[in-house]
Structure 1
Amino acid sequence: MQRYSLNSDHGSTVSRRSARSSWLSTALLTSSLLLGGLLLPSLGLAQRITDINPGVNSTNVTAETSISGLFDTSDGSRVDVSSVKLLLDGTNVTAASSITPNFFSYKPPTPLSPGAHTVQVEYKNSAGLQRVASWTFTVQAAQAALAISSVTHNASAPLGPGSTLLATLSGTPAAQASILLIEGWTNVREIQAQEVSPGTYVASFVMPNPLTPQEAVIMGQLQKGGQKIYGAASQPIVLRATAVAPEVVASSPATTAIAATEPTPAVVPLKPQFTSHQMDQRVASESGFQLVGQTRPNATVQVKVVAITPVLGGFVNVGGTSLVDRQFVADASGLFTVPVPAPLVINSNTRYDIQATATANGEVSSVTQLRLRQ
């Protein structure tokens, strides 16, 4: 190696030139070491890592990602494969990696945890020079798949102006739900739903006046994060122009015409209707469930729920267990909810017999019966 003396004028001049040259080389070297967050070797040493996966500082990476990259050997240099070391979050995973002179890859045996992760690759080139490249990426939090188990409604009879549509969606809890009322496949009304219990969403809507007579479809929409799914009710609903049949008055044609064009305001039925479940529907939860129903606004509903569980092949019933026997007051839209606890003895043959009657202003409804199965 050539050396320059700092004790002579000539040596001092050469030294200053050497210093300037050294500073310029250092600046070029520093700029070549940093590229997209990677620590890379100088252009003079020409050994880089390219096409890395996941990318530098990438976010929303899936937990099942693999880690890979290419050794750039375009300048003719080579990597000493035996010197390559791959670390994930500080753990040496080289033995489980696939490594060639041009390529490295590692597939974690289990999904990566949400959050930041660091990859570090250490290696030597054919000249024996040590190189280190490192970068980070972030794995997104896992999202549970959305599911809609049922969409039901209370429109067993045609709905007219002033009638209340009550729809219930059952599905993944802690999501955003809405009910879509599709009239004639052209007009879509989106009705926001509220989660009244985990996974049970209820929406109510008062039919406007005027109302075009037609068939309409009820669909449920559930979304969470970037996911959105739909589910349709098993039965469509029928819309009619009047709430009740027009009253015909024989006094004069003019009077008759007025009576035929001015519908009588709808009267909400007092008899309770359960909208969250249908007859003989299965109850999935073994820790209890919740009934949702519709009646006249502010009515008082008496609900009884009895569980019957056959055992020993059905020869013995652990039955007659009263789970609910109390009153519930409907809200201003006529909605009421009934939490039903699980019985002490339960199996796949457990049956729930449900009865409900409503009272409002001295009027008592007929009995609504519902049977559910575990």
Structure 2
Amino acid sequence: MDGLMSDNSHSWFPRALVIGAAVVGLSGLPVRAQQITDPSPAQAATNVEPGSPISASFRTQDGVSVRPETVRVFVDGQDVTSQSVITKDFFTYRPAQPLPAGRREVLLEFTNTQGVTRRVTWSFNVGSPIRASIDSVDHNAGNRPLAAGEILLVTVQGTPSSRVTVYLVQDGRQVQTLQAQEVSSGTYVVNALIEAKDTTREGIVVARLENSGQVRFMTAEQPARLIEGATGGVQRLTTQEVSATVSTPASSPLLPQVTNVRDGDRVSGSSFTLQGTTAPNASVRVNVTASTSLGGIISAQQTVANQTVQADAQGRFTVTVRPPIPASGTVYQVNLSATSGSQTSPTVTLRLTQQ
């Protein structure tokens, strides 16, 4: 019987531990043995990420508690105590290398305040690791130079739920860093306004994708040309031409764009403001959730904003978010979508961290 189990013995059992001669699961443990709770990953969890931290909480039962200085942590029989964070309330261990796919086992050995040594074990299954990849990098500045005031559109196709950054290397002399947003599963888009200072005869567009600690790069086949020569003779893109250039929902002007912060930025103070653009007079739905954690053990998520704001005639909108408890390290996930008439844009997501 696999499960979170405990005994008084001093030998390592690969699949189960015993009390006396009987194998006993969590529900059958003596009350005083139940001092290890909330294992993470959970017992028998499947498809666990290879780099997930391993943790559990310690609790006092009938006045009996764990002596943290006696705790030893084993993963698949290997002693990782020295690499773990152990307090009177919990332990946590983050593998230095991704765990192999398959069944993994955790053993805790500790002595309680009554002087009794106990051992607790549980298991979970690690899924196959994500293979980060970039399939393509395209942009709309290859066939002709873009003029000041136009939009550089870069589309990256790759592994979903990744962090994607686009670098524009301008004539080998400077680099612009542009954060991409995932507008649909595995499709990432950058919309960058071209300014007069961005003159580039041959720019190199490079995409960087990061997922589960893996980083991949790919360079667009065509160089990017921006406001080359005199801008007066350059034909400007119409909305229809922009939509035809990149076959993605991001080419729609309805897609909300946050202009004052980027994905991954930090915010400070008791509130923060989101400013952005969308189609004129569109309704923008804004949902913000806050996640806090302590050592990978205590995790709480709550909705701190869920409202609809109206863009003005120029498509500009503003919303102020006031978290009830703006604790340092809190991660805010911001989801925005816009509606105009019968059309609704894809959801744009960005994450911000409280300083």
Return the TM-score normalized by structure 2. Answer: 0.38
User: Structure 1-normalised TM-score?
Assistant: 0.37
Greater relative contact order (Cα < 8 A, sep 6+): 2
